[in-house]
Amino acid sequence: MYPYRKSSTILAVLLLPGEVQAEGPDGTLAALADPRRRAEILADEKLSSEFLEDIYLGCLPGAFGRFAGMSVARATVSEVLGRRGSGCWTC
């Protein structure tokens, strides 16, 4: 038995480097707010549009529900942030 909702994987857990996550929520937010660290994180292969084409969105809250069933890369095309790349939308 799988005791979680369908699509319960958190994108940050899947995509952000372990060393960033090891710093806890406050450390992760600080890393994403730091321009140099953010650029390093966004340069990772896991945040490339090619990789994110194979990651699909499932159950999403509120207004984001319209992206359910799309790949992360496809969902970014629908958003203004998509112009800066899929990774920016994810982070």
Query: Is residue 30 domain-resident?
Result: yes
Look at the pTM and tell me if it is higher than 0.85: no
Q: What is the pLDDT of residues 9-21, one digit of tens each?
A: 788 888 899 999 9
Q: Is 4 left (phi over 0), alpha (psi -120 to 50) or beta?
A: beta
Provide the pLDDT for residue 17: 92
Query: Is residue 3 domain-resident?
Result: no
Proportion of the chain above pLDDT 70, given as a percent: 77
Total domains in the fold of the chain: 1
Domain that holds residue 65: 11-90
Provide the pLDDT for residue 64: 83
The pLDDT of residue 36 is above 80: yes
Query: Is residue 2 domain-resident?
Result: no
Distance CA 9, CA 52 (A): 14
Q: What is the pLDDT of residues 42-59, one digit of tens each?
A: 999 998 889 999 988 888
Query: Is residue 28 domain-resident?
Result: yes
